[in-house]
C-alpha cells in the first residue's frame, strides 16, 4: 500500500497530465493516512456504516417478522399457531408441478428474455383479454419475480421526488414503504369499517393535489377482503379522470378468490382508464405458487418499457422453470379451472367458519369479507388506555394485544397498525379447519371478558 501511495503521489513530467483517480479525490498524505488507518489492525469503529437515508427510514414488514417469530417459537418447542402469513396452505396443483419437472428435464434451465418468455407473455395476454376484458400486446407485459417486484418497479418507473402516492387504509404493508423508497410521499386515506374498508369518491377527491401521481387500489383487498363493485370503481374513475397526471396501480393478485355475490372487475376496463392503469397480477395466491416467485405487470407500452429497463438492471428475468409451469397454470381453465376453484371453495368455507366464530366473541366487530383469505376484526374493546389483561399487564394498543395473544394463547396474528388500521388485527384463514378451530378456541378463551379490566 505504501508503494501505491508513493507512486500515485509522484506522478510528474510527461505523465503529469494523466488522471490518477485516487489522487483526484484527496492529497497523497491524507490518502496514505487513510489507507494506513484501514489496515488490518484498525478497529471496526473506523468503518463508515452510514446507509442510504431512504433505506434507513424503511420499516420492516410486521407480517414477515411475526411469521418468523412464530416459526422460531415452534422450532423451540412451543405450540404456536401462526395465522399471520398471506400464503395458501395448499400444495401447488399437480399439473403445474409436473410442468416444472418437465421444464427441468427438457433443459429449460437458462436465462429467459428479460420481460419473460414469449409463450408466457402471449398466454398472459390471452388470459387478460378473455377473462378481464383487457387487450394488451406481449410488449406490454413484464414478467417478474413475484407481484411485489412488479409493484415496486411500477412505482419506481412512474413516481419522482415530490410526487404523492394515494393509498387507502387499510393497505398492504409494503405500499407506503415502496413509495418512500421511490422518493415519493405516501398519502394515507382512511377507509373505515362502516364504509366496508373501501375508498369513497369524496375521500379520494379530498386527498388529491397537483402532486398526486399514483393511486393504489387492491381488490380483492389484502388485508380486509373487501371487493369493490363495478359501480364503486366507476365512481372512483370519475374522480381520477379529473386529474390529468394521476395514474392507477391496480393490484389484482387475489382476483380469483372472490365469494358470491361479489365479482372482480379490472380497473383498466373502466371508461378512459386503460391508458392510466398499471395492472399487477401473478400466480402466488390463486395457484398456491408462492415459492415459485412469479408475477406480472400489464401496462401501456411506455410504462412497461420503463419497468423492463429497471428489471434489466436489477434482477433480469424470472425463473425459466417457473415461467414454463405458469403457461400450464394459465391453461387450466377460466378462473384457474376446477383445481383452483376447489381451493377457493375451501377458502369460502373457512371464511364463513372464522367469521361466525369471531362474531360470537363479545367485543369483536367484524363484517364478512368478500374475497382474499383474510378477516380484519375491530378489537378496540381489548386495547387502549387503562385496559389491562389478567396475568399480563397493560394493553395500551393492538400491538400489545397481539403480544398478549402469542404469549397467552400461542396464536400469532398481525396488529392492524401495520396496515394503517390501529384498532384492528389481521387474521389469515389460509389454514386447515382443524387448525383454525384450535386457534379460535384459544383466541376466544384469551379474549373472555373476565380476562380484561379497565381503570
pLDDT digits (tens, 9 = 90+) for 69-78: 778 888 888 8
Q: Answer for the pair 194, 204: CB distance below 8 angstroms, yes or no.
A: no
Per-residue pLDDT at 92 exceeds 60: yes
CA dist., res. 93 & res. 337, Å (int): 11
Please say if the pLDDT value at position 8 is more than 70. Answer: no
Residue 32 pLDDT exceeds 70: no
Mean per-residue pLDDT, 216-241: 98
pLDDT at 179 over 80: yes
How far, in Å, CA of 417 to CA of 61, rounded? 11
Point out the least confidently predicted range of 3-17, 214-228, 296-310. Answer: 3-17
The confidence band for 67, taking pLDDT boundaries of 50, 70 and 90, is: confident
- pTM confidence score: 0.87
Q: How far apart are the C-alpha atoms of 258 and 373, rounded to whole Å?
A: 9
Query: What is d(CA 241, CA 122) in angstroms, rounded to the nearest whole number?
Result: 30
Q: How far apart are CA 290 and CA 4, in angstroms?
A: 51
Percent of the chain residues past pLDDT 70, beyond the cut: 90
Contact residues for 108 (Cβ-Cβ < 8 A; gap 6+): 320, 321, 324
Burial class (CB in 10 A: 0-12, 13-18, 19+), 197: buried
Cell of 199: 375508498
User: Cβ(404)–Cβ(359) under 8 Å?
Assistant: no
Q: What is the mean pLDDT of the chain?
A: 90
pLDDT at position 373 over 50: yes
- Per-residue pLDDT of 250-283, as tens digits, reads 999 999 999 999 999 999 999 999 999 999 999 9
CB 276 within 8 Å of CB 240: yes
Confidence (pLDDT) at 43: 55
Model confidence at 25: pLDDT above 70: no
Residue 364 has what pLDDT? 97
Average pLDDT over residues 375-384: 97
Question: DSSP states of 53-84 as a string?
Answer: HHHHTPPPPHHHHHHHHHHHHHHTT--PEE--
Q: How confident is the model at residue 84 (pLDDT cuts 50, 70, 90)?
A: confident
The residue with greater pLDDT, 117 or 62, is: 117
Q: In the numeric block, which cell numbers belong to residue 366?
A: 367484524
Which among 143, 136, 137, 140 is positioned nearest to 117, based on CA atoms?
A: 143
- Which tops the pLDDT comparison, 32 or 123? 123
Angle at 298 between CA 211 and CA 195, to 5 degrees: 55
Grid coordinates representing 410 are 400461542
For the cut 90, the answer to whether the pLDDT of residue 117 exceeds it is: yes
pLDDT for 69 equals 77
Whether 286 has a pLDDT exceeding 50, the answer reads yes
Helices (H) and strands (E) in the chain, counts: 16, 15
Task: Name the percent of the chain in helix, strand, coil, to the closest 5.
Answer: 45, 15, 40
> 283 with 289: CB under 8 angstroms?
yes
pLDDT of residue 168: 98
Mean local confidence (pLDDT), 429-451: 97
SS3 322: helix
CA dihedral 224, 230, 236, 239 (to 10 degrees): 170
Amino acid at each position: 500500500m505504501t508503494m501505491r501511495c508513493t507512486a500515485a503521489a509522484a506522478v510528474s513530467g510527461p505523465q503529469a497530465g494523466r488522471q490518477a483517480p485516487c489522487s483526484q479525490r484527496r492529497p497523497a498524505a491524507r490518502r496514505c493516512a487513510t489507507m494506513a488507518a484501514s489496515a488490518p489492525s484498525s478497529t471496526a469503529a473506523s468503518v463508515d456504516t452510514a446507509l442510504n437515508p431512504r433505506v434507513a427510514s424503511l420499516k420492516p414488514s410486521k407480517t414477515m417478522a411475526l411469521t418468523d417469530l412464530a416459526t422460531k417459537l415452534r422450532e423451540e418447542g412451543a405450540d404456536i399457531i401462526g395465522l399471520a402469513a398471506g400464503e395458501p396452505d395448499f400444495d401447488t396443483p399437480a399439473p403445474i408441478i409436473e410442468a416444472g419437472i418437465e421444464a427441468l428435464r427438457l433443459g429449460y434451465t437458462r436465462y429467459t428474455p428479460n420481460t419473460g418468455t414469449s409463450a408466457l407473455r402471449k398466454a398472459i395476454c390471452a388470459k387478460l383479454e378473455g377473462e378481464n376484458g383487457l387487450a394488451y400486446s406481449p410488449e406490454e407485459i413484464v414478467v417478474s419475480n413475484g407481484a411485489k417486484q412488479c409493484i415496486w418497479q411500477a412505482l419506481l418507473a412512474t413516481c419522482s421526488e415530490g410526487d404523492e402516492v394515494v393509498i387507502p387504509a387499510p393497505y398492504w404493508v409494503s405500499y407506503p414503504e415502496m413509495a418512500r423508497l421511490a422518493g415519493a410521499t405516501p398519502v394515507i386515506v382512511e377507509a373505515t369499517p362502516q364504509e366496508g374498508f373501501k375508498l369513497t369518491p369524496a375521500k379520494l377527491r379530498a386527498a388529491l393535489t397537483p402532486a398526486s401521481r399514483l393511486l393504489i387500489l387492491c381488490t380483492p383487498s389484502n388485508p380486509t377482503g373487501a371487493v369493490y363493485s363495478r359501480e364503486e370503481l366507476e365512481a372512483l374513475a370519475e374522480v381520477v379522470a379529473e386529474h390529468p397526471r394521476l395514474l392507477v396501480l391496480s393490484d389484482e393478485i387475489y382476483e380469483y378468490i372472490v365469494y358470491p355475490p361479489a365479482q372482480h372487475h379490472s380497473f383498466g376496463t373502466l371508461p378512459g382508464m386503460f391508458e392510466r392503469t398499471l395492472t399487477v397480477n401473478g400466480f402466488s395466491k390463486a395457484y398456491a405458487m408462492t415459492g415459485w416467485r412469479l408475477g406480472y405487470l400489464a401496462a401501456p407500452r411506455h410504462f412497461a418499457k420503463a419497468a423492463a429497463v429497471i428489471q434489466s438492471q436489477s434482477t433480469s428475468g424470472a425463473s425459466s422453470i417457473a415461467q414454463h409451469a405458469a403457461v400450464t397454470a394459465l391453461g387450466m381453465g377460466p378462473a384457474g379451472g376446477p383445481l383452483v376453484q376447489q381451493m377457493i371453495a375451501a377458502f369460502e368455507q373457512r371464511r364463513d367458519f372464522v367469521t361466525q366464530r369471531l362474531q360470537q366473541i363479545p367485543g369483536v366487530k367484524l363484517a364478512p369479507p368478500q374475497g382474499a383469505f383474510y378477516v380484519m376484526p375491530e378489537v378496540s374493546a381489548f386495547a387502549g388506555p387503562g385496559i389491562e389483561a389478567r396475568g399480563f399487564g397493560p394493553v395500551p394498543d393492538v400491538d400489545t394485544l397481539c403480544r398478549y395473544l402469542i404469549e397467552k394463547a400461542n396464536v400469532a396474528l398481525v396488529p392492524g397498525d401495520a396496515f394503517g388500521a390501529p384498532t384492528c388485527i389481521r387474521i389469515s384463514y389460509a389454514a386447515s379447519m382443524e387448525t383454525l378451530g384450535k386457534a379460535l378456541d384459544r383466541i376466544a378463551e384469551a379474549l373472555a371478558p373476565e380476562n380484561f379490566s379497565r381503570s
